[in-house]
Chain A
Amino acid sequence: MTVHNLYLFDRNGICLHYSEWNRKKQAGISKEEEFKLMYGMLFSIRSFVSKMSPLDMKEGFLSFQTSKYKLHYYETPTGLKVVMNTDLGVGNIRDVLHQIYSYIYVEYVVKNPLCSLNETIQSELFRSKLDTFVRSLPFFSARAG
């Protein structure tokens, strides 16, 4: 079981942060294009899911999976989006993504007046806390399972 990578987007589609731990294959496009592609896809899936839902929506889009990986999604009412790609052995990690929001993003970015919101996060402290957190997750192992 492992975590491949993580994206953080703000409500305007700007990629605030990207980290990877175990990515075997790159997308073949520049990082900027990759972020745009990811955000565009998320935006479309969200509206697709809410339109086509046969029942009333509760939490909306949660995850999708392919034969090789699973993409998990969490969005706050303020429009902050946390996206994590893991391997298939991982179940619902919505609470983990919420913790990344509450204990890392809110603590080290929102509460730091020197970090401006709406642009890429420069804070080294944030990067290292996030890294430590992800590495400590029970479904993270340094070599792909």
Chain B
Amino acid sequence: MAVCIAVIAKENYPLYIKSTPTENELKFHYTVHTSLDVVDEKISAMGKALVDQRELYLGLLYPTEDYKVYGYVTNSKVKFVMVVDSSNTALRDNEIRSMFRKLHNSYTDVICNPFYNPGDQIQSRAFDNMVTSMMVQVC
């Protein structure tokens, strides 16, 4: 189960960030911020790799003592970062991938809303609901 989900614009500012309100949220924000460097590294390393669905998923960015951070980037260079509890070993790679896919689909729906200007903060209720469901989901 994810403890924090963030959507970062291609200019590296956050469009959306949500964490489980258990502890210091700032800590999660910081984690996401530092993970952006890793994301950028991975993107430039991709270089001439084929851009297909699997390559969009960046995998485990880096583990900390309590958490694991996963990344995903879209073709328009919008990044999704997911922080997951380390103790949650039942979460497999496939599940993480499908969570990112769901995020990507919801993000696309947000973009299609004519009232949303790309680059704005994401305030969509539907997106919010989807993210909440991912965080509340029991493994």
A and B touch in the complex (CB under 8 A): no
Interface residues of B (CB under 8 A from A): none
Chain A residues proximal to chain B, CB less than 8 Å = none
